[in-house]
Amino acid sequence: MSVFLLNLLLAVAWAALTGQFTLGGLAIGFGVGFLALWVIQPLFGETGNYFTRVWRWVKLLVLFHYELVVSSVSVAWDVLTPRHRARPGLVCIPLKAQGEAEVLLVTNLISLTPGTLSLDVAPDCKTLVIHAMFADDPDELARSIENGMERWVREAME
**Size of the chain, expressed as the number of residues it contains:** 158
Nearest-angstrom CA–CA distance, 126 and 99: 10
Distance from C-alpha of 23 to C-alpha of 42, rounded to nearest angstrom: 30
Q: Are 102 and 135 contained in the same domain?
A: yes
3-state secondary structure of 76: helix
Amino acid identity for residue 98 in this structure: Q
pTM for this structure? Answer: 0.79
> In this structure, are 15 and 33 located in the same domain?
yes
Asked whether residue 26 falls in the same domain as residue 75, the answer is no
Q: What is the mean pLDDT of the chain?
A: 90
> How would residue 72 be classed by pLDDT, with cut points 50, 70 and 90?
very high
47 — pLDDT class (breaks 50, 70, 90): low
> Over the stretch 102-123, which tens digit does the pLDDT of each residue have?
999 999 999 999 999 999 999 9
Classify residue 144 as exposed, middle or buried by CB count within 10 Å of its CB (0-12, 13-18, 19+).
middle
Query: Is 75 in the same domain as 150?
Result: yes
Same-domain pairing of 13 and 79: no
Predicted pLDDT of residue 41: 80
Taking a C-beta distance cutoff of 8 angstroms, is the pair 103, 111 a contact? no
Residue 64, pLDDT above cutoff 90: yes
Nearest Cα residue to 128 out of 87, 88, 92: 92
Shared domain check, 149 and 71: yes
The sign of the torsion formed by the CA atoms of 91, 97, 100, 104 equals negative
Residue 20: pLDDT above 90?
A: no
Neighbours of 14 (CB within 10 A): 20
pLDDT band at 43 (very low <50, low <70, confident <90, very high): confident
- Tell me: do 65 and 92 sit in the same domain: yes
Residues 21 and 87 in one domain: no
- Please give the tally of structural domains in the chain: 2
Residues 66 and 116 reside in one and the same domain: yes
Do 26 and 55 reside in the same domain of the chain? no
SS3 of residue 75 by DSSP = helix
* CB of 146 closer than 8 Å to CB of 96: yes
pLDDT of the residue at 62? 95
Q: Give me the pLDDT at residue 57, please.
A: 92
**For residue 126, what are the domain limits?**
50-157
